[in-house]
C-alpha cells in the first residue's frame, strides 16, 4: 500500500465526510488530515476561527490526535485545557486561538494502518455527546472503506483509464470553476459528459440511515444513534428503497452508493 496514494485519497474524500458530520451532528468545528511519515498533517477544516490548525503537524503521542495515532483508538476530552491525559504543546492554537473546550478524535484506518485522524470539537464548555462520537465513527469507517475501494485494482482493466480517472476527479471536486474547466477538457478528450447530479434525490435523514446500515447497524441501533423511533427509521429506509427502485435496505445501500449518494 503506497502511503502517499492513501494520504492523497484521504485528503480528497475527507471534506465531504466533514460536511456530513457537521450536518448530522451539529458539531460546530470538524477537521482532520492524513499521516505523512508517521506524523499527522491537518489539512481539512470546517468552523475554525483562524488558520493555526491548517497544516499543523501532530507527532504520535502529542496532543489528542497524537494520542490517537499512538494508541490506534478514539479519544475524547471534555476540558481540553485542563485535562492531564494529553500533552499541551498545541494549546496556543486549540485553546487560545480556537477556544475549543471539548474535543474528540478518531483514527482513520485503511487496511490495518492508521492513516489519518478526524476531529470534532465544541466551544463554551459544552460536552461532546455520545451520539456525535458514534456518528463520527460511522464517518471514519466509511471513509476507510472508500479509500480501500479506490485502491483496489479493477480486474477488467490492464491499466488505468485516464478519462475514467478524470471523471472521478470531476465528481469529487468542490470547486465549481475547476469542475467546469475539467468537464471541458474531458469533452475535448472524447469522454462522455460526467454526471454532475445524481438521478435520485434522497433526504438527508435517509442518507444518514443508509450510511448506518452500510456499517452494519440494526434498525434499533440506527434509531438510537439518530434519536428516532425504530418505526421512523423503517419509514426512512422504506422511502429510500422506493426511490432507488429496490426491495430491501441492503440493496438500497448498494444502489445509493452506485448513484453517488453515499
CA dihedral 62, 105, 28, 201 (to 10 degrees): 140
CA 42/CA 11 separation, integer angstroms: 9
Find the mean pLDDT for residues 121-139: 90
pLDDT classification of 115: cutoffs 50, 70, 90? very high
Judge whether residue 40 has pLDDT over 70.
yes
pLDDT of residue 161: 60
* C-beta of residue 163 within 8 angstroms of C-beta of residue 191: yes
Quote the DSSP letter at residue 199. Answer: S
CA 72/CA 52 separation, integer angstroms: 25
* Cα of 260 vs its chain's centroid, Å: 15
CA 192/CA 183 separation, integer angstroms: 9
Could you tell me the pTM of the whole model?
A: 0.66
Percent of the chain with pLDDT over 70: 89
Find the helix packing angle between 204-214 and 3-25, rounded to 10°: 130
Find the mean pLDDT for residues 46-65: 96
CA 136/CA 170 separation, integer angstroms: 26
Find the mean pLDDT for residues 135-147: 89
Of 25 and 172, the one with more pLDDT: 25
Amino acid at each position: 500500500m503506497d502511503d502517499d496514494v492513501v494520504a492523497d485519497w484521504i485528503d480528497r474524500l475527507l471534506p465531504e465526510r466533514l460536511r456530513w458530520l457537521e450536518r448530522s451532528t451539529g458539531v460546530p468545528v470538524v477537521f482532520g488530515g492524513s499521516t505523512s511519515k508517521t506524523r499527522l498533517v491537518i489539512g481539512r477544516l470546517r468552523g475554525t476561527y483562524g488558520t493555526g490548525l491548517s497544516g499543523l503537524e501532530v507527532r504520535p503521542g502529542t496532543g489528542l490526535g497524537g494520542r490517537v495515532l499512538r494508541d490506534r483508538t478514539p479519544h475524547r476530552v471534555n476540558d481540553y485545557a485542563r485535562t492531564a491525559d494529553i500533552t499541551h504543546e498545541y494549546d496556543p492554537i486549540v485553546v487560545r486561538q480556537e477556544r475549543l473546550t471539548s474535543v474528540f478524535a478518531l483514527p482513520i484506518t485503511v487496511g490495518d494502518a492508521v492513516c489519518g485522524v478526524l476531529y470534532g470539537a465544541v466551544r463554551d464548555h459544552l460536552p461532546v455527546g455520545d451520539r456525535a462520537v458514534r456518528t463520527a465513527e460511522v464517518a471514519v469507517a466509511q471513509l476507510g472503506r472508500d479509500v480501500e475501494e479506490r485502491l483496489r485494482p479493477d480486474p477488467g482493466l490492464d491499466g488505468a483509464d485516464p478519462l475514467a480517472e478524470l471523471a472521478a476527479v470531476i465528481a469529487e471536486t468542490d470547486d465549481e470553476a475547476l469542475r467546469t474547466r475539467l468537464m471541458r477538457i474531458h469533452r475535448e478528450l472524447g469522454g462522455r459528459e460526467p454526471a454532475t447530479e445524481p438521478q435520485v434525490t434522497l433526504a438527508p435523514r435517509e442518507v444518514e440511515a443508509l450510511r448506518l446500515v452500510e456499517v452494519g447497524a440494526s434498525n434499533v441501533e440506527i434509531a438510537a444513534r439518530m434519536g428516532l423511533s425504530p418505526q421512523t427509521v423503517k419509514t426512512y429506509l422504506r422511502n429510500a428503497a422506493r426511490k432507488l427502485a429496490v426491495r430491501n435496505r441492503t440493496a438500497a445501500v448498494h444502489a445509493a452508493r452506485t448513484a453517488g449518494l453515499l
